A = this chain, B = another copy of it.
Amino acid sequence: MKQRSPNLNKWLKMTGIFTFLALASTALAQDAAPAYESYEAFTESSGFALFTINNLWILVSAALVFLMHLGFSCLESGLTQSKNTVNILFKNMSIVCVGILGYALYGFNAMYPGDFNGIFAAGSWFAVDNSDVAMMTDAYAPYTWWSDFIFQAMFAATAATIVSGAVAERIKLSSFLIYATLLVTFIYPITGSWQWGGGWLSSLSMGGMTADGDPIGFYDFAGSSLVHAFGGFAALAAVMVLGPRLGKYTKDGRVRPILGHSMPLVLIGVFLLWLGWYGFNGGSVLSADPRGVSYVFVTTTLAAAAGCVGAVTLSWILLKKPDLSMGLNGILAGLVGITAGADVIGMASAIVVGLIAGALVVLSVLFFDKIKMDDPVGAISVHGICGIWGTLAVGIFVAEKSFLNQLVGTLAISAFAFIVSLVLMLAIKAITGIRVSEEEETEGLDIGEHGNEAYPDFTAAHK
């Protein structure tokens, strides 16, 4: 799970206790000091090889999650029209870069505060220097402080990227950039801290107590709720404020499909996301533990494959044709669905979770079109609906978890994301406007916002 390791949590708790105790006893406080005199002493310790591999896996996972941003860029641009491609790519590029910097300057320490109050914590400029021994040895976690930061930073930017797809082809660039920056830097860390920062969800006692007398708590291994439902419901609010693209819903109530411009880009995007998910889920083990990481690789893979089968089967029945984009969204649905319980759900259950997620995404896409919520890439369905499904699935398929807790947790996160996103979007709408002009939307945002085209050699023929 994404919570800091037992070692670290212990250390964090100890920090608080020792702040008091240190006043009474210097001797006791000594025990909380880093276990190694110097980094060199650590490198010569017997646990150094294992620490090195654990740390490396977190870094490789961070690189894989980074690759998911390329996946999102391909997916979103492929599923939309070529006249808006430059705009979409620009948004994706910007979110990664601004998201990482915002998370570095504020978000990381807000999400994982040393002295956490359970609701919100002010962050601070991150600052660990090259000589802070405790932060780069197992006194901190099974990985260094820097690995912790980079892995979490890559995660954070995904939340805003999810919204990006849903609002594509009509949102004003500057408004979106302001919205996304605020969302990643200030809002995502709040719900993040509720669970992974050790906040109220992590010790939720509604669902009862474990045999040891601890609260069962909410469980979200790698973020079905904290990342995906968060992004999906933020997207829903954004779409409600923004309205559908011109011409998507005709006056007589029919849905006019607006086709994406490149299915190879869509497939490349989905496969890169699948690949990146091995880091997203696999890295969330927070070590290279063979049992943990191997297990998570298999559940993740089975759910992705089953998601595809579920979506293809249902859409073939409902739509009479085998639909490629439904199949690809089914893969993502399966991946989102397994994310909350990838380390605890059984193998056969992982297949069932994926199958249901794949079917759900088809129904959800049709449903949101029916209620005229125009989501060009299906982000609300894939991340929002399947994020909730995945979180609930942990309560259904894992005996030790509580369905009630899972329900409370995922609704709390989704509702919070929805409300804050709604407020943000309404505020930005009031201040600067959020939608491009009708002329710009018709001509394409590439020319309107960027004075540029994505494919000048190919699209010239259409003019």
- Sample of 16 further A-B pairs with CB below 8 A, known A82-B458, A261-B456: A49-B53, A52-B289, A53-B56, A56-B290, A59-B293, A67-B271, A70-B271, A78-B264, A85-B264, A86-B263, A104-B351, A144-B295, A146-B295, A173-B322, A261-B455, A457-B462
Q: Which of the candidate stretches A1-9, A387-395, A444-452 sits at the interface with the other chain?
A: A444-452
Q: Can you list 14 A-B pairs with a CB-CB distance of less than 8 A?
A: A52-B53, A53-B53, A53-B56, A60-B60, A86-B263, A89-B324, A93-B327, A136-B294, A143-B294, A144-B291, A150-B301, A259-B453, A262-B454, A321-B452
**What is the CB-to-nearest-CB distance from A44 to chain B, in angstroms, rounded to a whole number?**
11
7 interchain residue pairs of minimum CB distance = A146-B294, A97-B305, A70-B271, A97-B308, A55-B290, A263-B454, A49-B49
Interface residues of A in 281-305 (CB under 8 A from B): 282, 288-291, 293-295, 297-298, 301-302, 304-305
Chain B residues within 8 Å of A59, by CB: 278, 282, 293-294, 297
In angstroms, Cα B291 to Cα A348, docked, is 38
List the B side residues contacting A361 at CB < 8 Å: none
* Interface of A, helix, strand, loop or mixed by DSSP: helix
In angstroms, Cα B78 to Cα A302, docked, is 28
Which residue in chain B gives the minimum CB-CB distance to A55?
B290
Q: A150 with B297: in contact, given A305-B101, A324-B89 (CB under 8 Å)?
A: yes
Chain A interface residue bracket vs B = 35 or more
Residue of B nearest to A174 (CB): B322
Q: Report whether B462 and A93 are in contact in the complex, using a CB–CB cutoff of 8 Å.
A: no
Q: How far is the CA of A276 from the CA of B292 in the complex (A)?
A: 24
Q: How far is the CA of A278 from the CA of B154 in the complex (A)?
A: 14
**Chain B residue with Cβ nearest A259:** B456
